[in-house]
Structure 1
Amino acid sequence: MERLFERVGETVHVATLVGTEIHHLDGIEAANHALRFGLRTGVTLPAHETSAGKALLADLPADDVDARYHIALSGPRGRELRVDLGRLHEELERTRRRGIGTNFEESESGVAAFAVSIGLIDGERTALSIAMPIARCSRSDATEFAAHLFTTASEARNDLDLAGHM
């Protein structure tokens, strides 16, 4: 997370997937911008509305995604989810092809975010994300952020693999 922050200078988070929610475990806020995206550490959000959620859901087989959402939709807060499973599967297929989850004002107005899955860490599906005000996000930024996410995620996977063999 610290490497990613140094590379992009925007707010970054590490998040896990729990059922159909993203749990933001930790983050670093980019405090050097007058207009910035604040930390969401401790905040849970619907996975299908977030870049990290899409990146992590895209790691799962379609039947696992369906099972998670059928349970959530049949629960007491199911009506609040506002999810179209057909559209979600289309978005997850795009995420798989690109290797990156995106969020353009889906979870919050004025926010753009990008995320990649790191994989399983201590049995938890984990992702790294970058978030910023959408007013400061250009197409060239998105390409640069994606490259930094891919590099940092690869380094994290390598570091975690090496640590597991020590």
Structure 2
Amino acid sequence: MASNVPNFDEEFEKYLHRMFYIKPTDETSKCDPSDIEYCGVLSLTDLRSPDRKLWYIYYSKQSEVDETLNRIFHKYGKKNMCEIFRKPTFSGVGLRDRVKRHFCDKKWYVKGNILEAPPKSPYNDDRMVRLLTELYNEERKMLYNYVCMKHDSISKYY
């Protein structure tokens, strides 16, 4: 990552501190890291027809990620999969639904957690990662806008 590109998490935290007039502290967070949800995408390879482009969407709490991945690997075979995207998110269910809706609108085959690109589609893993990152950032921006809206409504009364 380039050094001149701002880190969204650090910038978001700075703005929250400014908005709510909170002084940053060096204390560790009291949040339980096992409560953090992760949403990820695995790239699947179908050995019977390698021209098919498949992806598997999953979500779980941080403490259950390894267990979830082992269950998926057992079902589809570890050699046929590689993880291309995993990010912490406010709601893994919400991000998964956003991704599924996005691809349903593009007339992809979406069933359960499987996404399949149409034949001769220009999508590959790199393009998929870029698109997933955009959807992830939209989700975070929506959360940021909600916090700002709440702050503005509260600050009107003071």
User: TM-score band (shorter)?
Assistant: 0.3 to 0.5
Give the alignment's TM-score, normalised by structure 1.
0.32
What is the TM-score with the length of structure 2 in the denominator?
0.33
Answer 1 or 2: which has greater strand percent. Answer: 1
